[in-house]
Amino acid sequence: MGRNRIESTNHVSGFFEINTDLCGMENLKTGLLSLAKLMKARGIKHLIVSPGSRNAPVINVFCKDPFFECLVIVDERSAAFFALGMALNLQKPVAIVCTSGSAALNYAPAVAEAFYQKVPLLVLTADRPVEWIDQGDGQTIRQKEVFKNYVKASFELPESINSSDDLWYNDRLISEAINATTFPDAGPVHLNLPFTEPLYGFRLESDHQPKSIEISIVKQTLPDVLLEKLKARWQQSKRKMILVGQQHPDHQTKYWLEMLSADPSVVILTETTSNLDHPHFIQTIDRCLALIGSEINAYEPDLLISFGGHVVSKKVKSFLRKAAIKTHWHIDPVDFQKDTFQHLSIGIPMSPEVFLESFVPLALKGKGDFASKWQAVYARSKAIHREYLNSAPWSDIVAFNEIFKELPSHYTLHLANSTPVRYAQLFDFVSEIKCFSNRGTSGIDGCTSTAAGACFAKDEPTLLITGDLAFFYDSNAFWNNHLSAQLRVIVINNQGGGIFRFIDGPQTTGLLENYFEARHQTSAKPIAELNQLRYFEANNSKELKNVLPQFFSPSESAVILEIKTPPEVSSEQLKEYFRFISTSKV
């Protein structure tokens, strides 16, 4: 995209024609200017910049243009997750840009998360000239297609523009990259940008106006033959189950599901991250399955319909894989062949809301007591849940209970991996609370940065509940100047990876505390002080109840609340919780 020799008297297609016989050189970076113009034309204005030298041309072009909102975050891993959080909340592409070499590799965790969670990121990596790859030059690695397993598409823009065809090719690649971030489904796209020196002093304007190639979205419909086939199977099925995975709040989807929930032969299972709430929906799947116990056959569906992203509950996955399901429809524009429950019979390549709009008005209401049986379990498990928590000792589950009782309904909730998102599935939530979690890859590496980016994007009250290891691992999330004062972070500090106490295997090795749990005595307080954040601490139920109103009150900075819980007691109480439910009667 550099090394351009120009002859000022000739113009081809609105740009300077290259004349390689000339000795003079003016580095126009025409291809980069096209990138800026096309991003502007498509409304991609957010750019997270990590400082460097090889990406100086990008910084010069974008950060001097008032259209773009450029934020500086030094740590590339945190920067990428921050951008992911922004894109998650805005539901629009956000761009990230870094220098060459290992800087790009630090993007990998967030890129993989964006890929599996279907979040639109435009990943811009500056690179050295291709002829210097593997030649011992500094900050030079094999960057082309470095993310190829975890992006929707990879492109490398031409380093030099030597003809009108070169420029057409450059602009076409950019349009393809931008389109791929959102169609046919959202996700990350990689654009590698090789730059030769000089990296500074080039003109920031060109006469060339790149052509934007956009995609026309055509509304899909179910073919009549397929529609009749689906209707027939629906009517033949006596026990129908709809399972919704992770998704954004969607009022249209909720509307159609509410209509189906009036059918006595239909049960609708959702999770906290499904962002769906209704009295007829079963929110707390693990609670219900624990109560059902050995009487599982009466609660199995013969028709399963699934859509949405990842499902948190391992219990429901195991339950459905063992169930005698006759038919399973999975609905997704891209991943319609995903066979999570090992019963897939029909993949439907369309969005869930379009499918429901086409199918629900034609779905005849069935008969039976399938829905009422599940509703009875749901109601009973809710009563048992409350009974248990009324007398449970101080532990993780008690802390979560107190938090959720006080959580204001106008907050957006982010749940870190790995225990917070699992604990949350045991509690009922009101529909006003939007809930997000990095369940694409389920890693702990960028949970705080993601929440910080999401909060910044709309500057709305946001609560992250995180474990101690995830919090300390991503402590650079606070090392930037873009933290919203609306951000609240609760750290459940049980001195290590508490989840390994819930799994039977690690405790049998004799290595639990040092090698699995990573036991520590570290506090979040120094991190809060270092970053000039307000800090609270709670060590028991009484302290937590007293501090939560102050924690949620307005503040001039982001706020951290560290809740210290006993690891041994917490793990035993969660096991006792499920024992208590499973030994109760439906």
Is residue 439 a contact partner of residue 312, using CB atoms and an 8 Å limit? yes
Q: Do the domains 392-582 and 6-194 match in fold? A: yes
Tell me the percentage of the chain whose pLDDT exceeds 90.
Answer: 81
**pLDDT-derived band of residue 218, with 50, 70 and 90 as boundaries?**
confident
* pLDDT value for 585: 73
Superfamily of domain 392-582: Thiamin diphosphate (ThDP)-binding fold, Pyr/PP domains (3.40.50.970)
Arithmetic mean of pLDDT, 391-402: 97
pLDDT at position 521 is 84
Q: How far apart are CA 368 and CA 301, in angstroms?
A: 12
Helix, strand, or coil (residue 192): strand
pLDDT band at 356 (very low <50, low <70, confident <90, very high): very high
- Alpha helix positions (H), 300-442: 314-322, 352-359, 370-391, 396-406, 419-424
Per-residue pLDDT, 573: 95
Domain 6-194 CATH superfamily? Thiamin diphosphate (ThDP)-binding fold, Pyr/PP domains (3.40.50.970)
Which two tokens mark 188? 């990350």
Percent with pLDDT over 70 in the chain:
91
Q: How many whole angstroms separate alpha carbon 312 and alpha carbon 426? A: 11
What span, in angstroms and rounded, lies between the C-alpha atoms of 464 and 204? 41
Fold (topology level) of 224-376: Rossmann fold (3.40.50)
Q: Could you tell me which residue, 200 or 544, shows the higher pLDDT?
A: 544
- Report yes or no: 85 and 464 within 8 Å, Cβ to Cβ: no
More confident residue, 89 or 512: 89
Residue 202 has a pLDDT of 85
Residue 14 has pLDDT above 50, yes or no: no
From CA 441, how far away is CA 516, in angstroms rounded? Answer: 19
**pTM of the shown model:** 0.91
Mean pLDDT for the stretch of residues 107-131? 96
- The pLDDT-based confidence of 267 (bands split at 50, 70, 90) is very high
Report pLDDT for 293: 86
The string of pLDDT tens digits covering residues 120-136 is 999 999 998 888 888 88
Mean pLDDT value across the chain: 91
Judge whether residue 253 has pLDDT over 80: yes
Alpha-carbon distance 434 to 400, whole Å?
A: 17
Whether the Cβ atoms of residue 489 and residue 451 lie closer than 8 Å to each other: yes
Give the start-to-end residue ranges of the domains of the chain: 6-194, 224-376, 392-582
What pLDDT does residue 499 have? 64
Q: For residue 544, give every residue at least 6 positions away whose Cβ sits within 8 Å of its Cβ, in sequence order, or none.
A: 399, 402, 403, 538, 563
* Residue 19 scores a pLDDT above 50: no
Residue 575 in 3-state DSSP? helix
Alpha helix ranges (H) inside 437-558: 447-458, 468-473, 499-502, 504-507, 525-530, 541-552
What is the Cα–Cα distance from 328 to 306, expressed in whole angstroms? Answer: 8
Alpha helices in 426-498 (DSSP H): 447-458, 468-473
How do residues 528-571 score in pLDDT, each as one tens digit? 999 999 999 999 999 999 999 999 999 999 999 999 999 989 99
| Among 448, 440, 400, residue whose Cα is nearest residue 420 | 400
For the segment 87-96, the average pLDDT, to the nearest whole number, is 97
Residue with tokens 């799994």: 503
- Encode pLDDT of 43-73 as tens digits: 999 999 999 999 999 999 999 999 999 999 9
The pLDDT of residue 198: 82
Q: Which residues of 407-444 are buried (b: 16+ CB within 10 A; e: fewer)?
A: beeebbbbbbbbbbbbbbbbbebeeebbbbbbbbbebb
Report the C-alpha gap between 577 and 586 in whole angstroms: 16
pLDDT digits (tens, 9 = 90+) for 410-466: 999 999 998 999 999 999 987 789 999 999 999 999 999 999 999 999 999 999 999
Tokens of 162: 């030597």
The whole-number pLDDT of residue 514 equals 65
- Computed from CA positions of residues 335, 336, 338, 341, in that sequence, does the dihedral angle turn out positive or negative? positive
